[in-house]
Amino acid sequence: MSKIHVTTTINDDPVEFLCEADETLLDVLRDHLGMTGAKEGCGTGDCGACSVTVEGRLICSCLMLGAEAEGQQITTIEGMADGETLHPLQKKFIEHAALQCGICTPGILVAAKSLLERNPDPTEEETRYWLAGNLCRCTGYDKIIRAVIDAASDMREAS
Amino acid sequence: MHYLAPTTVEDAVTALASQTGDCRVLAGGTDLLVRMRSGFAEPDAILDIKRIKELRRITREDGGFRIGAAVSGAEMAEDPDLVAAWPGVVEATGLIGSTQIQGRATMAGNLCNASPAADSVPAMLAANAVVRVAGPNGIRNVPVGDIPTGPSKTSLGAGEFVTSIFLPARPNNASDAYLRFIPRTEMDIAVVGCGVSLTLDDAGICTDARVALGAVGPTVILVPRAASALIGRAVDDTTMVAVVAACSAAASPISDKRGTVAFRTHIAGVLARRATQIAKKRAGGTS
């Protein structure tokens, strides 16, 4: 069967790839494009480790086909830091030790960035609800929530 | 597997009609891709409806709202007019999954997935929503309650798919609410769900009502006796006793790992009372 040719934009870079009809966007990112930041935790949309944004909308890349990426604007964790300069959320995750094994971290960072773009001053409750689809088995979440709220505060002051 | 992405409803109907194998319609994909991954679905083709522009829109029509079959829960929640008119339908859809799932999941997909515990369906049935179906014999409009026929089964014929869901115009002093019971606060499947839509007159008397239950039968259940207990009466404690009794009587649940028959039957009444109170307050009634 012939592969599907897809033209898309990932982290502001034009990207073309070939994929099978049943390959997910996550398969494409990891196996074809070498972008292994998005992780496969569950593969069924429960854990959020594969979070990316499509047209500015937070989604699980395991629940989207690669073919659906045609013409879309996609952002991944690879587009978060500016060269060697970490995003404020990344800095705060290190500062607060908001990660241990790190598997959930790219998805949580992408999801948290999406939250702060919509709501620069989220409450703890809003932050916890927004991140309810990002599972972490190490930290107990408290450090993650504190890091996000602290980053939000710094980002508001900087803007 | 083939991937089809038509850009018009007509092309989608033609493409569906030309498929000889198992062709599944893809809207948000939050159920279909999970089924494929777990081996419960092995389609020969997928027809993605998201490139059909009119299915991506919420449009005003005759004072109501036509919600395209590919509109996500997040997009519904960002339409202030829709939220104001049908808060119960929007909150029911918003309970489906996480932020990530909301970015993709659609009300039409929730309906056609035909889970008895689907959150948006009791709210849509209470709202008297009308589903627009396209197929080889043209377009037909179907009451939402006629779509699901059993767990994972719908009344859609070969080559048919849902293009939009219409929420009708409603008078002032009308509103709706949806509540579900789950053992935690987020990210779970309803043990019982209840949607209530009602209209009050200036004296606070209920002039119209629809009450629907989810997860207490093989399909969503409309409870006409709960509606008749409300209509013509003030929404007070006495009325509420009748609503609770009607909903518990209408529930015919099974026992499973999420809840027993006795628990679900009781909770159907409890949620009906609470959802009715919320809908009443939203409709401008005093509590």
Radius of gyration (C-alpha) of chain A in whole angstroms = 16
CA distance B28 to chain A (A): 8
How many CB atoms neighbour CB B150 within 10 A? 11
Sheet bearing B64-68, strands edge to edge:
B58-61, B64-68, B161-167, B130-135, B138-143
How many CB atoms neighbour CB B275 within 10 A? 29
Q: Which of A4, A63, A115, A118 has the highest number of chain B CBs within 10 A, making it the mutation to test binding with B?
A: A63
**Mean pLDDT, to the nearest integer, of A19-25?**
97
**Mean pLDDT, to the nearest integer, of A23-32?**
98
CA distance B115 to chain A (A): 17
State whether residue A44 sits within 8 Å of chain B by CB: yes
The string of DSSP codes covering A81-150 is: SBTTBPPHHHHHHHHTT--SS-SSHHHHHHHHHHHHHH-SS--HHHHHHHGGG---SSS-SHHHHHHHHH
CA distance A75 to chain B (A): 14
CB B2 within 8 A of CB B45: yes
CA distance A119 to chain B (A): 14
Give the confidence band of A159 by pLDDT, cuts at 50, 70, 90: confident
Subunit contact A64:B5, Cβ cutoff 8 A: no
Residues of chain B with pLDDT under 50: none
State whether residue B104 sits within 8 Å of chain A by CB: yes
Whether the pLDDT of residue A1 is over 70: the answer is no
State whether residue A67 sits within 8 Å of chain B by CB: yes
Among candidates A45, A68, A134 on the partner chain, residue whose Cβ is nearest the Cβ of B50: A68
Residue B287: per-residue pLDDT: 57
Kindly list the residues from chain B whose CB atom is less than 8 angstroms away from the CB atom of residue A20: 1
pTM of the entire structure? 0.96
**Mean pLDDT, to the nearest integer, of A25-54?**
98
Subunit contact B33:A48, Cβ cutoff 8 A: no
Kindly list the residues from chain B whose CB atom is less than 8 angstroms away from the CB atom of residue A44: 34, 37-38
What are the structural domains, with CATH classification, of chain B? 52-167 (3.30.465.10), 174-282 (3.30.390.50)
Subunit contact A65:B26, Cβ cutoff 8 A: yes
Residue B224: per-residue pLDDT: 98
ipTM > 0.90?
yes
Subunit contact A45:B38, Cβ cutoff 8 A: no
Q: What is the widest separation between alpha-carbon atoms in chain B?
A: 60
What are the structural domains, with CATH classification, of chain A? 4-79 (3.10.20.30), 88-158 (1.10.150.120)
Residue B24: per-residue pLDDT: 97
Which residues 254-273 on chain B approach chain A with CB closer than 8 angstroms?
Answer: none
CA distance A22 to chain B (A): 7
Subunit contact A111:B99, Cβ cutoff 8 A: yes
Residue B285: per-residue pLDDT: 80
The string of DSSP codes covering A37-63 is: -S--SSSSSSS-TTEEEETTEEEEGGG
State whether residue A48 sits within 8 Å of chain B by CB: yes
State whether residue A57 sits within 8 Å of chain B by CB: yes
CA distance B3 to chain A (A): 5
Residue indicated by tokens 């999954």: B97
CB B219 within 8 A of CB B252: no
